Amino acid sequence: MSIGKYVATLATGVAGMAALHKTSSVRRQNSPFRRYWERHLVATLDDLHARAKEGKERPLIYVAFGDSAAQGLGASKITEGYVPRLAQALALGSGREVALLNLSLSGGTVQSVLGTQIPQLAGLQIAGEPVQPDVVTLDIGSNDVGQAWVSNESFTAAHQAMVDALPAGTFVLNLPSFGVLEAEKRAAAFSTIIGEQATDGGHHVVDIRTISRNMPMRTYMFDYHAPDLFHPNSPWYEVWAQEFANEICAVHGWPPIDVSGLDEWSGPIATDRDL
């Protein structure tokens, strides 16, 4: 092999290893992000319980259902996911302190929302009383798209059961574009089902699909996705938070909120340095 070919081959290998490292960095977020939200949930419930026992005013309770996007995977840090950003927007819009209960599950599907996340909320109590959320958001369906055994018919049935079980007036995100991937056809079909059933069920649809479809493909794929080209990155999560905030503020009659101008969210426990 000539020196030129050797150098070219080596450069290609190094580039490939760098891309693999970047992609795996998203996977490495899975466990620490999940552990953070578990600890955060317990701390928030403890705080709500203490407030109730002392007769203090209850903060606005925001419950997030969803998958790894609600966990914030792909963001530069956990506070740049759409859920904590939205919690900040809700505090400013409502003029109240916000207690965030993130019940999402990385890898979550419609079945896991129905089978584990909604029942988890039903089992939560504050001072012996069931938790009554003021705002509920949901992003789900992207992982269902990737499951070949999930047909349009089975997704329709499972999603309808989930919609029927959601708290009234949940804010439901439809599916963003899958770009040039073959799965885009399934994503489009599932997104239509999500929008129609959520609307018929009395919920509020947040339309992220139209925004993603109207972007130049290169911009969408490379400027608004994490290195794995599946999860959103921090700028795309900001757009998600903004769209949720727009819809929620309109429904509640709150003033519009510019998510990009908000201070960084902070919860009852500090985020670890590696998050």
Type of residue numbered 179: G
Residues 271, 72, 42, CA angle at the centre, nearest 5°? Answer: 50
pLDDT in tens, the chain (275 residues): 444 443 333 333 333 333 434 567 898 999 999 999 999 999 999 999 999 999 999 999 999 999 999 999 999 999 999 999 999 999 999 999 999 999 999 999 999 999 999 999 999 999 999 999 999 999 999 999 999 999 999 999 999 999 999 999 999 999 999 999 999 999 999 999 999 999 999 999 999 999 999 999 999 999 999 999 999 999 999 999 999 999 999 999 999 999 999 999 998 888 765 46
State the pLDDT at residue 196: 98
State the pLDDT at residue 184: 97
State the pLDDT at residue 2: 44
Q: How far is CA 266 from the centre of its chain?
A: 17
Q: How far apart are CA 68 and CA 45, in angstroms?
A: 22
pLDDT digits (tens, 9 = 90+) for 110-153: 999 999 999 999 999 999 999 999 999 999 999 999 999 999 99
What is each CA distance from 31 to 26, 126, 144, in whole angstroms?
10, 27, 21
What is each CA distance from 35 to 27, 65, 78, 102, 231, in whole angstroms?
14, 16, 12, 12, 19
